[in-house]
Amino acid sequence: MTIVAPIMGFVLANYMFFAGVPEMLRCKRNATLGTFNPRPFPVVLANCVSWIIYSTLISDYFLFFANAPGSMVGMYFTLVGYGLSANGSALREDLERSAMALMFALLAVALYLGLVASADDAGADHRQLVMGLFCNGVLLVYYASPLGTLRDVLAKKDASSLSGNMALANAVNGAAWFVYGAALGDAYLMAPNGVGAVLGAVQLALVHRYPAKRTVTSPAPSSWGSQQDLLEMGARSARDGSAGGTGGSARPAPPGSALAAVGAALSRESLDGASRL
């Protein structure tokens, strides 16, 4: 399982990351975001960079290469999203605040691990502890993004705002990285990805329990949205391409390092709310 599990995690994580690229390229060509909401991508970037740093501490190539592509996607989406957002808009301000806050946190951890801990002759276990806890915190923020959508589903007894395919990908991705963490005896890999697998399973159960209704009432928009839209954008773009259009797309979802993540992204109604900002 030290080979099969991380390979599964690598494939699923990067599938979810790159699925939104064609949609973003289309937004860039059209010089407008439309309904595309880039808010989750500073978190995707920070999540991937955090796990890359962690992978260097434990000398794990699987973890590094599972998150390296996601860090590039997170950076690109954040920059393009910021450039296409209206000057002075709430969206641009949100991107500025989240990007700066996450960068400050990463710099603080780098300062401690690279200088303070070195001066105190802290051992490898202590460095792994600090970075592991930081990675867990960022990844749990990523995984928590669909909680608002789950509340709406339970309240309205309608799971039309959830993607069964994405929920399955989240569950399997989280489970794969959980198994890999268990094989390595690494609690920092196991804990957040176990949570991600459970959340994916919960979403699958809700999709089965409350199938989409014919007439759907749009849920209230949220600033972070749910993790399904990247996948939906991929399916929409693929349909457009087959009909003679351009583009294609799909979800974040942290990724088993990043892990499973990701994600993050947003329900169609959340995206519509963001486009009106």
Residue 234 lies in a domain: yes
- Structure-block tokens of residue 188: 């920092």
Residue whose pair of structure tokens reads 């993790």 in the numeric block: 227
Phi–psi pair at 37, nearest 5 degrees: -110, 110
Q: Which portions of the chain are predicted below pLDDT 50? A: 215-227, 242-277
Is the residue at 273 inside a domain? no
Domain presence at residue 231: yes
In a domain, 272, yes or no: no
Q: What is the pLDDT of residue 247?
A: 40
Rounded Cα–Cα distance for residues 193 and 27 (Å): 32
- The pLDDT of residue 21 is 84
User: Is residue 275 included in any domain, yes or no?
Assistant: no
Closest CA to 163 of 203, 219, 194: 203
Query: What is the separation, in whole angstroms, between the first and last Cα of the chain?
Result: 46
**pTM greater than 0.85:** no
Model confidence pLDDT, tens digit, residues 202-219: 988 988 888 876 544 444
Predicted pLDDT at 155: 86
pLDDT of the residue at 240: 53
Torsion of CA 261, 137, 225, 49, to 10 degrees: -50
Residue 130 is assigned to a structural domain of this protein: yes
Maximal CA-CA distance, the chain? 63
> Taking Cα atoms as reference points, which of 142, 206, 208 lies closest to residue 177?
142
Confirm whether 271 is domain-assigned: no
Number of domains in the chain: 1
pLDDT for the residue numbered 2: 80
The pLDDT score that the predictor gives to residue 255 is: 47
Domain-located, residue 277:
no
pLDDT in tens, 56-99: 999 999 999 999 998 999 999 999 999 999 999 999 999 999 99
Yes or no: say if 64 and 56 are a contact pair by the CB < 8 Å rule. Answer: yes
Q: What pLDDT score does 232 carry?
A: 54
Q: What would the DSSP string read from start to end of 102-162? A: HHHHHHHHHHIIIIIHHHTT--HHHHHHHHHHHHHHHHHHHHTTTHHHHHHHHHHT--TTS
* Domain of residue 107, residue span: 4-266
DSSP 8-state assignment for residue 181? H
